[in-house]
Structure formats: C-alpha cells, structure tokens
C-alpha cells in the first residue's frame, strides 16, 4: 500500500476466461492499488450474441465471479459495475439487421437485468451511455433512450450510473436528464473523462496532464485506466499499474487533497462506498 491509503481504479475490465485478468489485479495490488470497480466487458467480446435481456445474465455472472476472485487478491475490495456497452447498438443495427427501436428495446432489457443485480446487492452500479462516434439520428435517439432507462433505475435503486460517451467537457444536458429521472447529477460518472467536466462526475483517464487539471480544479473526480476495453481503439487504454503510480506522483507533487478526493471522498459520495473502512490494515 501507499502510506495505508486506499487507491481505487474506477473503471477497468478483467477477462474472466483467460485469467490474464487476475494477473492484472496482482500487478495493481503489488504497486499499491487496493480497490477496483470492474466493468463487464462488452457482450460481443465474450462471444455472447444477445437476443433477449436474459442473454446478458452470462456476461454479468462471469463478471461477478472474477470480481470475487479479484477481491481476494486485494487489501481492499473490488465491486462489479454492470450494463450494456453503447457500441452494441451499431453491431445490432449494422451487422444484425435490427431497427434502432428493436436495438433500443434489447439494450433496455439488458439494463433492466443489470439493475436486478444492483437491487440484489450483487453489483454496485450500472453502466450505460451512447456511442462516442457519429451515428444516424435514429440510432442516437435510441441510444439516449437506453441511457435514460439506466437513469430511471439509478433513481429507483439510488445507485450510480457510469457512462461511456462522446469526448466532451460539458455534459450538463445529460446530467439534467438524470435529475429529471430523479437521480442526483453527481451520481452520473463519465468514464474516460478529461480533467474537467460540467455535469456528471469525471472518471479521469490517468495520464499526467488530465490528472494535473483535475487536481488543480479541486472538484470531485475519480481516477481510472479503462484497462482492456474498446476493441475499436487498441492501445487507447492504460495498464493496471497506472493508477497507483499516478497516486504516488500526485503525492510527490503536493496533491494530497486531490488524492483524498479521488480515492476517499468522491467514491463515498458517488457510490456510497467506504474505501478506508474496507482496507484490511484498518481492521
């Protein structure tokens, strides 16, 4: 550990089939990482061609299994974040002849199933969003409808919703939709964020420039690597040791408050998790 501090990677993926995933957790722990939010891989990465919402059970169950294994490697804890990758809509519409409305219905059904796991206490938060690339208007509308379904569950379940979305530093319109649904805007987390963001809470990609911006801004933020994610952007993610290494770097550069913000205060406000109490050495 780093001076008995909790160190949380807010968004990464583990491959449940090749157990490469658990090696990544060991790497993370060895350099001082203590807590992880593990997001299920996109369903098509796991060879799942969903036809109904129930087909997502396999994806979610495999994520929950590897999260249990990850927790046993950590001095802190790992939690699952479950949902439907927004890029699925293009696969359904472009490759499988779904209409945007049919794709919306299937993806909303997948979100409904993910919400059942949150309701049962088996997952911490939901994952949704919309494509980060240009799409037709009807695909965009369908994607927004899926995201708004996730916000309805976030309101009912009082859980956070992580978003995969277009690169932007102003997502107040999306945060307003969350509030319309009844969930507080700060429980919406934009993953792969830059150092500043209006609206949702930014989960900042842990490169030095972005972190410096976030630390100097002084607003709530989280840190992530997005380890093994998007097949369309190979090499666009960071390795599993990055968050602990950047925490050390922030501390060396006098950003102690930012480190507490990203690893203790923001996780508590957004997810209701206590990263200090869940550390073994604190018991």
Q: Which stretches of the chain bind Zn ion, using CB under 5 A?
A: 226, 229
Are the CB atoms for 25 and 32 separated by under 8 Å?
no
**Shortest spacing between CB 212 and Zn ion, in angstroms:** 23
What's the DSSP call for residue 122? S
Between 152 and 226, CB nearer to Zn ion: 226
**Shortest spacing between CB 205 and Zn ion, in angstroms:** 10
**Shortest spacing between CB 227 and Zn ion, in angstroms:** 8
Between 79 and 155, CB nearer to Zn ion: 79
Are the CB atoms for 203 and 232 separated by under 8 Å?
no
Strand partners, 205: 224
Between 9 and 229, CB nearer to Zn ion: 229
Residue closest to Zn ion (Cβ): 229
**Shortest spacing between CB 83 and Zn ion, in angstroms:** 11
Between 9 and 226, CB nearer to Zn ion: 226
What's the DSSP call for residue 256? H
Q: Is 96 exposed, middle or buried (0-12, 13-18, 19+ CB in 10 A)?
A: middle
CA nearest 185: which of 196, 195, 175, 172?
175
CA nearest 222: which of 62, 23, 73, 39?
39
d(CA 7, CA 262): 9
Are the CB atoms for 74 and 110 separated by under 8 Å?
no
- Our separate counts of H helices and E strands in the chain read 10, 8
**Shortest spacing between CB 8 and Zn ion, in angstroms:** 15
**Shortest spacing between CB 76 and Zn ion, in angstroms:** 20
Strand partners, 161: 126, 188
Between 10 and 226, CB nearer to Zn ion: 226
CB atoms within 10 A of CB 182: 12
Strand partners, 35: 8
Between 190 and 246, CB nearer to Zn ion: 190
Between 152 and 229, CB nearer to Zn ion: 229
**Shortest spacing between CB 102 and Zn ion, in angstroms:** 25
């Amino acid at each position: 550990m780093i001076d008995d501090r909790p160190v949380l990677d807010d968004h990464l993926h583990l491959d449940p089939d090749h157990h490469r995933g658990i090696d990544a957790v060991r790497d993370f722990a060895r350099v001082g990482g203590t807590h992880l939010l593990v997001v299920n891989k996109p369903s098509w990465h796991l060879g799942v061609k969903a036809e109904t919402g129930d087909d997502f059970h396999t994806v979610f169950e495999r994520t929950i299994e590897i999260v249990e294994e990850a927790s046993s490697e950590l001095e802190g804890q790992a939690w699952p974040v479950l949902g439907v990758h927004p890029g699925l809509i293009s696969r359904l519409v472009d490759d499988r002849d779904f209409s945007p409305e049919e794709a919306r219905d299937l993806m909303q059904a997948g979100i409904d199933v993910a919400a059942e796991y949150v309701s049962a206490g088996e997952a911490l938060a939901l994952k949704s969003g919309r494509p980060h690339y240009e799409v037709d208007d009807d695909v965009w509308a369908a994607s927004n409808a899926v995201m708004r379904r996730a916000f309805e569950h976030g309101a009912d379940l009082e859980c956070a919703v992580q978003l995969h979305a277009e690169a932007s530093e102003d997502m107040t319109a999306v945060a307003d939709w969350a509030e319309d649904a009844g969930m507080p805007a700060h429980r919406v987390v934009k993953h792969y964020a830059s150092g500043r963001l209006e609206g949702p809470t930014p989960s900042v990609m842990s490169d030095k420039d972005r972190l410096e911006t976030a630390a100097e801004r002084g607003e709530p933020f989280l840190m992530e690597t997005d380890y093994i994610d998007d097949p369309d952007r190979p090499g666009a993610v960071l390795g599993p040791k990055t968050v602990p290494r950047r925490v050390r770097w922030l501390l060396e550069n006098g950003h102690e408050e930012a480190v507490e913000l990203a690893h203790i205060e923001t996780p508590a406000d957004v997810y209701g998790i206590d990263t200090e109490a869940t550390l073994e050495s604190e018991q």
